[in-house]
């Protein structure tokens, strides 16, 4: 879901300064002829890897340069290229919007070399201006769908509440609605919008082939598994619903069709109330607004205006004519953005590395298997099991908590000395004590560095595998997240070696 709220600190729209090339390696701005062409959400990383053919056998300088490009760090001299999209499909969409009562905007659809298709300012836009207004009748929400499907949804909702104790989720119903519109596009009245929707979602990890999926960081793999389970569960419920509402279908609804519609909702819907980030009755598909791309430093406000009866986005930053206008989907790291939206952004300040597996696998001298299991149980009971992360400049408190406990050795739960150490550990966790013991505290950075070394080896191994793969957008996205992970780990190792406070 997109959260067009003002979350970002900086006042500069993100215009990463270099080119993307299409996967065929052609070095020119991409002309968008069809939604399929425009579908490949790209980071500015993409050109370089294409053209740079980043391989292990390249020299160090060339490899580092390619990596700098992947991360969006290279070449302030390289301008973002853009091409306005004015094909018949877009003109039909504009006519459709006008018909639906959408006011004209200072935005037009364009293809950008750094992000793929997005919205360009056709005139200068001042800070505080409303950039998009979507009339209520053009929003696809649970409320509007109730007026279309009425009693059908109410009946199913009642069945759902009685069977599962919860209401039908709006993500599932909006996805079904989109899938039904696509089955009979001419009849739907929404054809001009439907024609502009992405044709496929191949850059979404949930669509990755297994050999790429296993190259995602562990936490992202878990995120994808949950997403897949959710899509499958929603498909099952949808099939249940259709069982008694078969007349809605023009043909049987295949899983792939439903998955596509579900991903349309996932990547394009907004929360009407950004403070209430739960889907129930709070999400909406808002044609036109959903062509705005994300950057972490966009500052916007999204709200429903009761006077104009429309959902509006106000930018708090100015834009110059010709620039891409962005919204901010929320304060997310690149792994999250990749799994939820299928792209990554350069210089994302929210990036972090999860080291749960490395923590579990870390061997501590003198720690028996029984002691390790008991410590994990203790961590679980205290609410500190897993979610151990490294940021660029620090490690999470949870990881320090876990490491201090792991470093209580010898550890015999029945012994008085161990019980005393555990009680001191609790006091450190609660902030009543600074350390369990001087020795325990000294050991923390030593073993954190060992953990970082393991993570670093993981990152290097995965990058080496990726460097041997054919360059595609998913491969480049994976390269970027692993380079970022590696660099975060390196910066923590550096801090440890400089004996800085973590």
Ligand X SMILES: C[S@@+](CC[C@H](N)C(=O)[O-])C[C@H]1O[C@@H](n2cnc3c(N)ncnc32)[C@H](O)[C@@H]1O
Interacting residue ranges for ligand X, rule: CB under 6 A? 2, 38, 41-43, 115-118, 198, 267-268, 290-295, 341-343, 345
Report the C-alpha gap between 69 and 297 in whole angstroms.
20
Closest CB 112 distance from ligand X, rounded Å: 8
Closest CB 219 distance from ligand X, rounded Å: 20
Q: Which is nearer to ligand X, 14 or 310 (CB)?
A: 14
Structure tokens at 410: 């010898």
Closest CB 342 distance from ligand X, rounded Å: 5
Q: Which is nearer to ligand X, 111 or 458 (CB)?
A: 111
Cis omega (within 30 of 0) for bond into 411: no
Report the C-alpha gap between 110 and 120 in whole angstroms.
6
Closest CB 328 distance from ligand X, rounded Å: 10
Report the C-alpha gap between 365 and 77 in whole angstroms.
52
Closest CB 19 distance from ligand X, rounded Å: 14
Q: Which is nearer to ligand X, 116 or 445 (CB)?
A: 116
User: How many other CB atoms are there within 10 angstroms of residue 56's CB atom?
Assistant: 9
Q: Which is nearer to ligand X, 295 or 440 (CB)?
A: 295
Closest CB 39 distance from ligand X, rounded Å: 7
Q: Which is nearer to ligand X, 107 or 399 (CB)?
A: 107
Q: Which is nearer to ligand X, 125 or 454 (CB)?
A: 125
Residues 6 or more apart in contact with residue 195 via CB below 8 angstroms = 35, 89, 92, 93, 185
Q: Is 184 left (phi over 0), alpha (psi -120 to 50) or beta?
A: beta
State how far Cα 52 lies from the chain centre: 26
Q: Which residue is nearest to ligand X (CB)?
A: 41
Give the DSSP letter string of 394-417.
Answer: -B-HHHHHHHHHHT--S--TTSHH
User: Helix 473-497 crosses helix 334-341 at what angle (to 10 degrees)?
Assistant: 160
Q: Which is nearer to ligand X, 329 or 384 (CB)?
A: 329
Report the C-alpha gap between 467 and 480 in whole angstroms.
12
Closest CB 203 distance from ligand X, rounded Å: 7
User: Is-contact 289 118, C-beta < 8 A?
Assistant: no
């Amino acid at each position: 879901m997109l959260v067009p709220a003002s979350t970002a600190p900086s006042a500069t729209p993100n215009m990463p300064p270099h080119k993307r090339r299409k996967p065929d390696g052609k070095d020119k701005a991409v002309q968008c002829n069809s939604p399929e062409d425009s579908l490949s959400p790209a980071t500015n990383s993409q050109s370089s890897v294409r053209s740079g053919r980043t391989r292990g056998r390249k020299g160090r300088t060339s490899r580092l340069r390619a990596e700098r490009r992947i991360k969006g760090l290279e070449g302030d001299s390289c301008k973002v290229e853009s091409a306005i999209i004015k094909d018949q499909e877009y003109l039909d969409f504009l006519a459709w919007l006008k018909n639906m009562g959408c006011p004209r905007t200072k935005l037009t659809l364009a293809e950008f070399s750094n992000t793929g298709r997005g919205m360009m300012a056709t005139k200068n836009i001042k800070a505080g201006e409303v950039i998009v207004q979507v009339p209520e009748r053009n929003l696809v929400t649970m409320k509007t769908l109730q007026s279309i499907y009425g009693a059908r949804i109410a009946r199913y909702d009642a069945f759902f509440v009685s069977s599962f104790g919860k209401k039908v989720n709006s993500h599932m119903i909006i996805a079904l609605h989109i899938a039904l519109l696509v089955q009979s596009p001419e009849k739907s009245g929404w054809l001009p919008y439907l024609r502009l929707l992405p044709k496929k979602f191949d850059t979404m990890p949930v669509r990755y082939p297994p050999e790429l999926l296993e190259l995602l960081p562990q936490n992202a793999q878990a995120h994808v598994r949950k997403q897949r389970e959710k899509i499958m569960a929603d498909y099952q419920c949808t099939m249940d619903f259709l069982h008694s509402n078969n007349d809605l279908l023009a043909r049987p609804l295949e899983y792939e069709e439903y998955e596509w519609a579900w991903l349309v909702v996932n990547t394009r819907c907004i929360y009407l109330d950004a403070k209430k980030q739960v889907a129930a009755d709070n999400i909406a598909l808002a044609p036109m607004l959903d062509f705005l791309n994300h950057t972490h430093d966009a500052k916007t406000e999204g709200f429903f205006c009761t006077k104009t009866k429309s959902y509006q986005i106000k930018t708090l930053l100015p834009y110059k004519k010709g620039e891409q206008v962005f919204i901010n989907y929320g304060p997310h790291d690149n792994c999250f953005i990749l799994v939820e939206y299928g792209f990554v952004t350069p210089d994302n300040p929210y990036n972090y590395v999860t080291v749960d597996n490395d923590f579990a696998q870390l061997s501590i001298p003198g720690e028996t298997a029984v002691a390790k299991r008991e410590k994990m149980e203790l961590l679980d009971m205290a609410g500190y099991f897993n979610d151990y992360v490294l940021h660029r400049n620090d490690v999470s408190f949870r990881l320090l908590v876990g490491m201090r406990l792991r470093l209580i050795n010898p550890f015999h739960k029945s012994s008085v000395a161990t019980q005393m150490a555990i009680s001191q550990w609790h006091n450190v966790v609660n902030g009543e004590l600074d350390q369990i013991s001087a020795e325990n505290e000294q050991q923390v950075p030593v073993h954190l560095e060992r953990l970082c070394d393991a993570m670093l080896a993981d990152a290097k191994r995965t990058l080496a595998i990726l460097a041997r793969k054919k360059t595609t957008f998913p491969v480049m996205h994976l390269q970027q997240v692993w380079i970022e992970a590696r660099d975060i780990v390196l910066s923590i190792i550096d801090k440890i070696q400089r004996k800085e406070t973590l």
